């Protein structure tokens, strides 16, 4: 028998304030590098005085600036490609975060589940005493699950009612 999808949700990091925090330093670093390159190769002085040594953006382009920007670009790509995918099938829940982490929970292994409004616990995969393993990329709502063996999971969702309903089938 073919597995039938009861529920499917894919979430990404789309919070504007998170992207602002991440992009602001790289904009400043790129500005600093461009200013330094213009000074070294073109004699450009941001103040127009010709004395760049007193400018806050003066200096040489260093390998550390390039490493910083490379790490930042990799971080941005990582967040841009990151997503939380939750699929409820006839007999299991599949949770996939990023490309690496995959969790499968059998519906027969679940003893209790409910919609939960939770405090901010961070983004990604987290371990907490209160909620157990948390899968979250945005928001403060989700479905908490308690297994027969006592393990707890919290799945962040933008559609917690639909997720709960799919578990009830």
Q: Using an 8 Å Cβ cutoff, are 22 and 76 in contact?
A: yes
**CA 74 – CA 137 distance, rounded (Å):** 18
Domain end among 50, 81, 112: 81
Q: Is the pLDDT of residue 1 over 70?
A: no
**H helix runs in 14-159, sequence order:** 16-42, 63-81
Same domain, 63 and 89: no
Domain end among 56, 81, 106: 81
Residue 5 counted as domain residue? no
Residue 7 counted as domain residue? no
* Tens of pLDDT, residues 65-121: 777 778 888 888 887 788 899 999 999 999 998 767 899 999 999 999 999 998 877
Same domain, 69 and 88: no
Same domain, 155 and 140: yes
**CA 156 – CA 143 distance, rounded (Å):** 7
pTM: 0.69
**At 46, is the pLDDT very low, low, confident or very high (cuts 50, 70, 90)?**
low
Q: How many domains does the chain have?
A: 2
Same domain, 56 and 103: no
Same domain, 98 and 159: yes
Q: How far apart are the first and last CA of the chain?
A: 17
Same domain, 44 and 88: no
Domain that holds residue 156: 84-168
- For position 134, what pLDDT does the model report? 93
CATH of the domain at 126: 2.30.29.30
Domain end among 20, 53, 81: 81
Residue 65 counted as domain residue? yes
- For position 150, what pLDDT does the model report? 96
Q: Is the pLDDT of residue 143 over 90?
A: yes
**CA 13 – CA 134 distance, rounded (Å):** 16
């Amino acid at each position: 028998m073919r597995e039938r999808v009861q529920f499917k949700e894919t979430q990404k990091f789309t919070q504007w304030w998170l992207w602002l925090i991440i992009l602001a330093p790289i904009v400043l670093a790129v500005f600093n590098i461009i200013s330094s390159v213009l000074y070294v190769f073109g004699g450009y002085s941001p103040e127009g005085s010709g004395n760049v040594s007193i400018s806050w953006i003066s200096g040489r382009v260093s390998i550390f600036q390039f490493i910083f920007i490379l790490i930042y670009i990799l971080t941005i790509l990582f967040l841009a490609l990151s997503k939380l995918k939750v699929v409820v099938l006839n007999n299991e829940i599949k949770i996939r975060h990023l490309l690496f982490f995959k969790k499968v929970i059998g519906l027969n292994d679940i003893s209790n589940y409910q919609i939960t409004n939770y405090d901010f616990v961070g983004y990604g995969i987290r371990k907490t005493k209160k909620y157990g393993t948390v899968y979250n990329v945005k928001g403060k709502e989700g479905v908490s699950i308690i297994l027969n063996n006592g393990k707890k999971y919290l799945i962040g969702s933008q559609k917690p009612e639909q997720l709960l309903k799919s578990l009830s089938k």
